[in-house]
Amino acid sequence: MCFVAQNTRLADFTKSAGRHYPYRFSRVARSDSPCSSSARFFPLAPLRTGVSEFAFELELCAHLETRREGVLARQLGTSVANPGGRILDVVCVEPGPEFEDRIALSSATIPDAAIEADVGTGRARYWKDAFDCHPERAERALERACDVGFFERERRNGREYVRQVARYPDWYNRLVGIENKPDLGRPGDLEAQLRTDVSLALVDEIILATESYVTRAHLNRIPEEVGVWRVHREESVHADEVAADETTVDGSTLEVEVLREPDQLPVSEPGIEPLEFFPGRTDIAVVDPEAKARQRRRVAERAYGKGWRTFDIPECGSCELDAAGDLTLPRCAWNGRLVDANTECGPSCPGYDPETDSLPTVDLEAERDRRTPWEANPDGKRRQQSGLDQFG
């Protein structure tokens, strides 16, 4: 359901919704307007190292992988009413009580339609009777669920029957979202993004990670529910000032200084999702807890199958492993930094070297398997085909 929140009606609306939502609709303007929120959110703050957002994101993920249990993934959609409307830079999925069962089930994302289908682990069902969605979506989910080992099927009298190989486990717990903005002098739509995360409350915590110096004015303009991390590279932070985690990425020291802890967001309550911004008003949708719970499961499943190593290794002789030697980050020797092969590499680059014989052998899936609990080739729980005739 879509609503239009007028400035003069915001207080009445939040009362009727049953709680106070922190989204400041009256401050939102078109992004191309000279008075847009993105144009006046942060004062200029110089970026100390000139690191790109892409490199910052990869380095932070490599650091978090050594410090947090569970699953890390990059660039995941967290909108409900407007799919694709909000993309979180990093999502950390904390393990639930049956995390080991999920690891053993499949390495890939299980389709949401297959999870919701009326298919159990005992009696096999005719597949068209098991799905409550469009037939084409149901057929795609069926094929994918069979491919990844969540369903197994058999044929009876020309019909296809399916069942789950195992009950879908209660494998994830909290979801932590991280918005990366290394340079606060170029905030983009940061204010609107963070307020959307807080008002929708799809993730349990939301954190802003930056390399810029964070002033009190910055903290006052960021929603108070949002945690703030300052990421330091190469130079140390005094131990008596902060308690910082530390790791080595790309030959430099990486430390995370916690400037403000995030609040727990009300994920089990209704949320407010902004849909479109206009001068003086914002179109919104009220998202019920059931829809949020389904989207949380989709995000967790997508994170499990995707991970954060979704980048390409440049096909260039200047490409080399980072100095740590085991993170397989796409480092360019000519540029002296991490690079995005899809946007920065190729014959048009002055440092391009077509001789690729010296390129390191990189298996990103194997690297994820080696460094995390996730398994690339689990045994799975598919039964022997010869025993399927007993179900029916």
Predicted local confidence at residue 32, as pLDDT: 36
Task: Spell out, as residue ranges, where the chain has pLDDT lower than 50.
Answer: 2-49, 235-245, 248, 250-251, 325, 384-392
State residue 315's pLDDT score: 84
pLDDT digits (tens, 9 = 90+) for 288-311: 999 999 999 999 999 999 999 999
Residue 221 confidence (pLDDT): 87
3-state per-residue secondary structure call for the chain? CEEEEEHHHHHHHHHHCCCCCCCCHHHCCCCCCCCCHHHCCCCCCCCCCCCCHHHHHHHHHHHHHCCCCCEEEEEEECCCCCCCCCEEEEEEEEECCCHHHHHHHCCCCCCHHHHHCCCCCCCCEEHHHHCCCCHHHHHHHHHHHHHCCCEEEEEECCEEEEEECCCCCCCEEEEEEEEECCCCCCCCCHHHHHHHHHHHCCCCEEEEEECCCCCHHHHHHCCCCCEEEEEEECCCCCCCCCCCEEEEECCEEEEEEEEECCCCCCCCCCEEEEEEEECCEEEEEEECHHHHHHHHHHHHHHHHHHCCCCCCCCCCCCEECCCCCCCCCCEECCCCEECCHHHHCCCCCCCCCCCCCCCCCCCHHHHHHHHCCCCCCCCCCCCCHHHHHHCC
Confidence (pLDDT) at 328? 78
- What is residue 322's predicted lDDT score, i.e. its pLDDT? 64
